[in-house]
């Protein structure tokens, strides 16, 4: 495959200018990084990636039929209670997966936190979330409609296309959406951390 068309399809998603939408309970704000299909609302997305600033305790909005993968990327920690089970989230850059429809409550440990959130609709998409440090090989997503989203969640990271093209530099909270078939080398440097989210649409059921 000619690498040039792949480079043309890379979507750069800078942090500057992202709109902040307040939570319905007033506990924080969320900034959407990307969603599939593009522009899909809460009832229509197959997948959604966002950053959330959480500045007070409170419940999460229930999202039945959605799988959440939450990663704290800034802050001193929090405690999540998911369907009555408490989980301490004290270490940054450790993804935590749980059902969006579960009754979920958040208690902050010592001040605000920032969470990197990945949501996928059950039966429509799967997501694999890796927090990469140092050098990391970004492999293409499986299938013609798969994609990989790379976001700098700490420091600066550099993406170098495996085939051809100029390196892409991402500052903190910048992101890039890579098309199917796109492979790259990632260098997060000594202080950088990159979220690598591999998104694969689910195959339709036979007769569906």
pTM for this prediction:
0.92
Minimum mean pLDDT range among 48-57, 71-80, 161-170:
161-170
Question: pLDDT tens-digit profile of 174-191?
Answer: 999 998 889 999 999 889
The closest of 138, 119, 126 to 32, measured between CA atoms, is 119
CA atoms within 13 A on the CB side of 194: 31
Tell me the domain boundaries of the chain.
3-14+124-201, 21-121
Query: Does the structural domain 3-14+124-201 have CATH classification 3.40.1190.20?
Result: no
Phi–psi pair at 122, nearest 5 degrees: -55, 135
pLDDT in tens, 101-139: 999 999 999 999 999 999 999 999 999 999 999 999 999
Does residue 206 carry a pLDDT above 50?
no
CA gap 87, 93 in Å, rounded: 15
With contact defined as beta carbons under 8 Å apart, do 182 and 133 qualify?
no
Per-residue confidence at 143, pLDDT binned at 50, 70, 90?
Answer: confident
Which of 54-58, 66-70, 204-208 is most confident?
66-70
Locate 147 and state its tokens: 């994609």
Q: Can you give the pLDDT at residue 98? A: 96
Q: Comparing C-alpha atoms, which of 187, 148, 188, 166 is closest to residue 7?
A: 166
Tokens coding 33: 């990084």
Whether 21-121 and 3-14+124-201 are alike in CATH topology: the answer is: yes
Do residues 143 and 201 lie in contact, with contact meaning Cβ atoms separated by under 8 Å? Answer: yes
Q: What is the sign, positive or negative, of the torsion defined by CA atoms of 33, 190, 55, 121?
A: positive
Q: Which pLDDT does position 24 carry in this prediction?
A: 66
pLDDT of the residue at 1: 47
pLDDT at 19 over 80: yes
CATH topology of domain 21-121: Jelly Rolls (2.60.120)
**pLDDT over 70 at 148, yes or no:** yes
Mean pLDDT over the full length of the chain: 90
Lowest-confidence pick of 22-36, 55-69, 147-161, 175-189: 22-36
């Amino acid at each position: 495959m000619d690498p040039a068309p792949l480079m043309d399809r890379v979507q750069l998603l800078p942090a500057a200018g992202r709109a902040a939408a307040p939570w319905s309970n007033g506990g924080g704000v969320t900034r959407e990084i990307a969603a599939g299909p593009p522009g899909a609302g809460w009832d229509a997305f197959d997948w959604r990636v966002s950053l959330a600033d959480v500045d007070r305790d409170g419940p999460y909005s229930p999202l039945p039929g959605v799988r959440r993968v939450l990663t704290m990327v800034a802050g001193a920690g929090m405690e999540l209670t998911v369907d009555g089970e408490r989980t301490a989230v004290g270490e940054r850059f450790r993804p935590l997966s749980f059902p969006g429809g579960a009754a979920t409550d958040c208690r902050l440990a010592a001040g605000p936190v920032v969470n990197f959130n990945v949501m996928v609709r059950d039966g429509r998409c799967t997501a694999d979330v890796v927090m990469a440090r140092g050098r990391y090989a970004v492999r293409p997503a499986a299938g013609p409609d798969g994609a990989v989203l790379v976001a700098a969640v700490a420091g600066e990271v550099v993406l170098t296309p495996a085939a051809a093209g100029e390196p892409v530099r991402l500052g903190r909270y910048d992101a890039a959406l890579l098309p199917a078939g796109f492979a790259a080398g990632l260098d997060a440097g000594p202080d950088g951390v990159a979220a690598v989210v591999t998104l694969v649409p689910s195959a339709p059921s036979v007769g569906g």
